[in-house]
Chains A and B, each alone.
Chain A
Amino acid sequence: MKFIDLHVYPEALDENGLKVLRVTKTKVIAVEAGTVGGEASLSAQGVKVLRRITLASASLGEAKRMLRGIRNFYEIVAIEPLSMDVARLAARDGRVDLVRLTMRSSKFFDKHELNMLEQSGIGIELPLKELSKLRPRFLRKVRAVVSEAWRRSIPVVVVSSAKRWVELWHPITSASLLAAILGVDRYRALAAMSMDASRILARRHLA
């Protein structure tokens, strides 16, 4: 199985971070808006490094302006919608790969949003950093959105969003956390996580 982490900050990839990536056998990482210092050691480890950007906006005009020409610079584009208009734009825009499900944006994930995501093939990004805060209201929303997304076969990509090496996650522990929250089998969660990220990469011919 190919383990993929589609959101890591460059600061997380220090000596300990590289050690964790080696142990977890992560094959692809997407580094947030910047260059990686140890790119040579990462490629020596067999880790493919992608560039990604996360946009957060409440204004539709601003979001459209930010998206203009963005695919020339980044391989993965994620949007954290802070208003309903931006959430709808993110769910249908072909330049977007992932829509971020966080505590701030969770209220915009309704059935219409999921319908649009299902039709466009854009995935839902679930940051483990937010999930590990264990806020009951957010967990309830995650349970509802993820189970519905799996039912509709919308890709749900679990990412670490690690700013430090200690925030990186092993795929088994993240699958177990998801299994404990959703009440599903660990291997079901693991397979979904691994395959959904691959689907997002395959959509951009990056797999």
Chain B
Amino acid sequence: MSTIVYTSLLISAVAIIVSAISLIAVVALMRRTKVLASLVEGLVKTGRLKLGKPRRRYIAVMIVGEASDKSSLEDAIREKVMELAGAVGLSMASPMVVEYNNEIGYAIIRTNHQCLDLVLAAIGLTRNVKGRDVLMVPLRVSGTVKGARRAVKIRVK
């Protein structure tokens, strides 16, 4: 009888010790992950680390003034990106006018998440397209064309 009690006590003690150790291990792992996450976050924020593949960004812009055609608008933006960041910057950003509506006065410009600032700055700097005064006002930055279109629809309504 006593051996059964001793054995059960021993088993429960071992179980308690094992669970305590595993709890400590889990807490340590969580803290380590947290530290690592904050480290990576800091590196990403400072721009020292660019995570993953470039993700596409679609900028919905409203066009104020005399609008021109799609290709000349794209050329004007590319020219400004080139002026700001050079050939390497232009090749990385590769801005492209995906959609353009002359009647409503909007365009959707595609780039990637790493060069978003550069393209937004170039959009701001573009004031003249083929000798015509044009001002582009960004409405929304989206990860999908659908999201960008939605921003335009809301604005048009």
Q: Does A206 contact B (CB under 8 A)?
A: no
Q: Is the interface of A mostly helix, strand, loop or mixed?
A: helix
Chain B residue contacts of A170, Cβ below 8 A? 124, 137-138
Q: Does A3 contact B (CB under 8 A)?
A: no
Q: How many A-B residue contacts, CB cutoff 8 Å?
A: 61
Docked complex: B116-135 residues within 8 A CB-CB of A = 116-118, 120-121, 123-125, 127, 133-135
Assembled-state Cα–Cα distance A166/B118 (Å)? 20
Assembled-state Cα–Cα distance A24/B134 (Å)? 15
Pick out which of these stretches binds chain B: A45-53, A71-79, A174-182.
Answer: A174-182
Chain B residue contacts of A173, Cβ below 8 A? 120-121, 123-124, 138
Known: A134-B83, A180-B84, A180-B118. A20 touches B137 (CB 8 A): yes
Q: Are B135 and A166 in contact (CB-based, < 8 A)?
A: yes
Chain B residue contacts of A167, Cβ below 8 A? 127
Chain A residue contacts of B133, Cβ below 8 A? 164, 166
Q: Are B120 and A20 in contact (CB-based, < 8 A)?
A: no
Give min CB distance, A102 to chain B, whole Å.
18
Give min CB distance, B127 to chain A, whole Å.
5
Q: Are A134 and B84 in contact (CB-based, < 8 A)?
A: yes
Known: A166-B127, A180-B84. A19 touches B121 (CB 8 A): no
Give min CB distance, A41 to chain B, whole Å.
16
Give min CB distance, A154 to chain B, whole Å.
23
Within 8 Å by CB of B125, from A23, A132, A168, lies A132
Chain B residue contacts of A24, Cβ below 8 A? 137
Give min CB distance, A177 to chain B, whole Å.
4
Q: Does B65 contact A (CB under 8 A)?
A: yes
Interface size on B, residues (CB 8 A): 23
From A181, which residue of chain B is reached at the shortest CB distance?
Answer: B121
Assembled-state Cα–Cα distance A132/B83 (Å)? 11
Within 8 Å by CB of A16, from B65, B85, B118, B123, lies B65
Give min CB distance, A180 to chain B, whole Å.
4
Give min CB distance, B48 to chain A, whole Å.
11
Interface code B99-123, partner A: CB below 8 Å = 1, 0 otherwise?
0000000000000000011101101
* Size bracket of the A interface: 20 to 34
Q: Does B157 contact A (CB under 8 A)?
A: no
Assembled-state Cα–Cα distance A167/B125 (Å)? 9
Within 8 Å by CB of B120, from A132, A165, A176, A185, lies A176
Interface code A82-118, partner B: CB below 8 Å = 1, 0 otherwise?
0000000000000000000000000000000000000
Other A-B contacts than A173-B120, A180-B117, 13 sampled, CB-CB below 8 A, are A16-B64, A23-B64, A132-B124, A165-B135, A166-B127, A167-B127, A170-B137, A172-B138, A173-B138, A177-B121, A183-B47, A185-B45, A186-B117
Residues of A within 8 A of B (CB): 16, 19-20, 23-24, 132, 134, 164-170, 172-174, 176-177, 179-180, 183, 185-186
